[in-house]
Amino acid sequence: MPVENPDVVVIGAGAAGAALTWRLSEHGAKVVCLEQGDWVNPIDYPSQYSDFEARMLRGGDFSLSPNVRRRPEDYPVSVANNGGFRPSISMFNAVGGTTIHWQAHFPRFHPSDFRVKSLDGVADDWPLTYQDLEPYYNLNDRMMGVSGLHGDPANPPRIPRATPPLPVGRYGDTLIRGYEKMGWHWWVADQAIISRAYDGRPPCLLHGKCMYGCPIGSKASTDRTYWPKALANGAILETWARSREVMVDSRGRVRGVLYYDRDGILQEQPGKIVVVCCNGVGTPRLLLNSKSRYFPDGLANSNGMVGRNFMVHPTRFVEGIFRETLDGHIGPFGAPLYSQEFYETDLSRGFVRGYTMVSGRTYGPLAHSRQVPWGANHHLEMARHFPHTAGIAALCEDLPNENNRIDLDPDLTDSHGIPAPRVTYTLGDNTTQMLEHGAARATEVLKAAGATEVRDARGNANMAHLMGTARMGIDPRRSVVNPANQAHDVGNLFIVDGSSFVTSAGVNPTSTIGALALRAADGIWERRGEWN
């Protein structure tokens, strides 16, 4: 049921919505959050079952893709086929959002990532700096709980990690051997997975099932980190609340949110401020569907920029087979180490910006069996591959392009009749060159590490990182929100998630999403007198 007279209505209970709700409730604001999914009981995670790998690989209700999953709280996403590359759209609708499924790799942006126009003449500079976000990066680290080792020479100094780094194992040692022979940078990865007991959560037991859900809470999904504290502060979380549109009053200001409750009844939740935290696909979908006589093309879209500049993180995976037995399927699934040797621009490589070489762990035997031909030699080939493989993914910065966009599908809807988002995306030439370079360098590392065979997947893929569709900027003609994440068109509307990213950087975005959410919450609170 709608809550009377809240100060702030937040839409979405994932990485951004959880952090922002906690911070505002910590200040004393009355906050209600609408989440279209529900709490997920850890007993239901695929990781709790002996056939966990089969459950994930064959799809089902814990698939990474909403189009495969088709849970009642999901909505479909259509993807246009442009240029032969169809980005995969992965997200999860629940309290905690996609942090339930994520690998918990937790890097930060570099200072240069906020100044790509000034430094490299491409895209746009962010209207804020690394230094502006640094205290919020630190706060988010403390709230989530991070394992790692400070002192990485590729990044600015950081506060000590909450817990020591997780073990890299024989798998990591093997890849380190390759990086060392090449003379290239490598470092133990920051992970939002604790290696020692922290803030009432137990340490990681190295089961290697992180993407299938962490039942003990060592992995920092926000249903285990931010939400218990936010609820203890008095925040209200309404689950099974699917937002249809954000409503405006006669002055063109936000007045509340229309949503379907768990019984399918349309309700209106009033609020002095509305904050949209629905990710880089869900946020433009909601804004474009929120049409009125004041905003006939969608809320906060007077300049036509909502949905444009959609970015993902294109990746290329290269795998090496080794004679020795490795342990890539044991331990946290996220990257035990990474290299940023090719992160900053060097024009001699044939492209601008750069990428991270992510040395992610491998899946278990079932996933490997799909790469081995059936027949008389199946078992011999299987024994050669598992557990003897190590892989490197080149995670590439994706430059913004206005033609890469999210709009509303004219035919497809969710179960409540709300138009589904449609993705139009083409790989840029700069990204294509970067992917080729990354694959070649990954091949060199694996060979230097002693791989007897190296296989380049060739097919380009993308990480589950959805960014850029309601971008931040000073110029209201070319951006949707200002540096405070406040909509240019609507003073009491805020957009806080990966959609506000100006550029994508060459690292996972969740750490930056959390930092931006905490910073936006402080800004809303500091200006609270304006919302009465």
**pLDDT tens-digit map of 247-267:** 999 999 999 999 999 999 999
Report which of 521, 475, 513, 474 is spatially closest to residue 494, judged by C-alpha positions.
Answer: 521
pLDDT at 31: 98
Contact 492, 249 (CB under 8 A): no
- Residue 522 has which token pair? 């402080």
User: 202-234 pLDDT, tens per residue?
Assistant: 999 988 778 788 999 999 999 999 999 999 999
| Residue at 66 is within a domain | yes
pLDDT at 48: 80
Taking each continuous run of H as one helix and of E as one strand, the counts in the chain are 12, 18
pLDDT at 209: 79
pLDDT at 85: 83
What whole-number distance in Å separates Cα of residue 276 and Cα of residue 261? 18
CA angle 332, 432, 82 (to 5 degrees): 100
| Residue at 2 is within a domain | no
| Residue at 285 is within a domain | yes
pLDDT at 354: 98
| Residue at 287 is within a domain | yes
Taken as a whole, the chain contains a residue count of 532
CATH of the domain at 480: 3.50.50.60
SS (H, E, C) 37-106: CCCCCHHHCHHHCCCHHHHHHCCCCCCCCHHHHCCCCCCCCEECCECCECCCCCCCCCCCHHHHCCCCEC
Domain extent at residue 485: 8-531
Report which of 259, 177, 328, 224 is spatially closest to residue 11, judged by C-alpha positions.
Answer: 259
pLDDT at 532: 66
| Residue at 3 is within a domain | no
pLDDT by residue for the chain (532 residues), tens digit each? 788 899 999 999 999 999 999 999 999 999 999 999 999 998 888 878 777 777 776 677 888 889 998 999 999 999 986 667 888 899 999 999 999 989 999 999 999 999 999 999 999 999 999 999 999 999 999 999 999 998 999 999 999 999 999 999 999 999 999 999 999 999 999 999 999 999 999 999 988 778 788 999 999 999 999 999 999 999 999 999 999 999 999 999 999 999 999 999 999 999 999 999 999 999 999 999 999 999 999 999 999 999 999 999 999 999 999 999 998 888 887 778 999 999 999 999 999 999 999 997 887 777 777 778 888 888 888 888 889 999 999 999 999 999 999 999 999 999 999 999 999 999 999 999 999 999 999 999 999 999 999 999 877 888 889 999 999 999 999 999 999 999 999 999 999 999 999 999 999 999 999 999 999 999 999 998 887 6
Contact 336, 361 (CB under 8 A): yes
Q: Considering its fold, how many domains does the chain have in total?
A: 1
User: 316-371 pLDDT, tens per residue?
Assistant: 999 999 999 998 888 887 778 999 999 999 999 999 999 999 997 887 777 777 77
Written as one letter, the residue type at 58 is: R
DSSP 531: G
| Residue at 32 is within a domain | yes
- Residue 297 has which token pair? 């093309």
| Residue at 250 is within a domain | yes
Chain centre to alpha carbon of residue 319: 24
| Residue at 75 is within a domain | yes
